[in-house]
Amino acid sequence: MRFRPCIDLHAGMVKQIVGATLSDDAAGHPQTNFQAEKPAAWFADRYRRDHLTGGHVIQLGPGNAEAARAALAGWPGGLQIGGGVNIDNAADWLDAGASHVIVTSWVFHDGRIHMERLRQLTHKIGKTRLVLDLSCRRRDNAYLVATDRWQTFTSEAVTYALMDRLAACCDEFLIHAVDVEGRCAGIETDLVAYLGGWQGLPVTYAGGIASQADIDRIESLGSGNIDFTVGSALDIFGGHGLRYAELAKRYGPSDRPDQVDI
């Protein structure tokens, strides 16, 4: 079980946003929990110094490319990149320093999965450089993959059958529980328990983590097989529930150097 750090970008700035409030409406403003004074590259350098790999940079809408590239340059090979990634720009992001590209909307298109698109992308960049984002929202008794900054429900439910099918074409899965993302009100326990029963590729869960008790619950429900990302509850993002330095020490690599929290 590993701590996977994050850098969420909105309008070129590092922010923590309530996921379900994102919108393409130009007049709409997502609910923002935190807006950093420090640039994305500062966070990337912090993760580099703590030897934390496998974290992600997510571009939430347009206007984030410059900040994203600066973050990747700050931790070459240490961060994944998502948000607007497709077959035309995936290789460019890898060349910019990303370890992997994270893809949802380009593969889950028009409400369903397009396996031919996925196969083309895998052929172009390689299975080992691709993370599929299965971020989802609950509808009735199913967790449906959500695209377009989590605004659009697809017809594809997160199931073992779907994950088995996709595992041949990617290296990892990233799954945000969108309904609780950014709310610091607890994790989506049913989803975590379900994911913990799947035996396959690495899975990173994000959404609702507010305290160490939530992390302990992920470890228990997920049988230690699920990595996790913390956003709004983390002190470096203005939160009060968890300290970054403690998570980096406890859930980071065993050979990391000791760092002093800033």
pLDDT at 183: 82
The phi, psi pair for 96, rounded to 5°, reads: -80, -5
DSSP state of 234: B
As a whole number of angstroms, the distance between CA 87 and CA 170 comes to: 14
Region 206-215 average pLDDT: 96
Region 201-221 average pLDDT: 97
- Sign of the C-alpha dihedral, residues 78, 100, 246, 8? positive
Q: Which residues pair with 142 in a beta bridge?
A: 139
Structure tokens at 197: 């029963």
Domains of the chain: 6-251 (3.20.20.70)
Is the predicted pLDDT of residue 150 greater than 90, yes or no? no
For the chain, the average pLDDT equals 91
Q: Are 146 and 137 in contact (CB under 8 A)?
A: yes
pTM, two decimals, is 0.91
Is the predicted pLDDT of residue 53 greater than 90, yes or no? yes
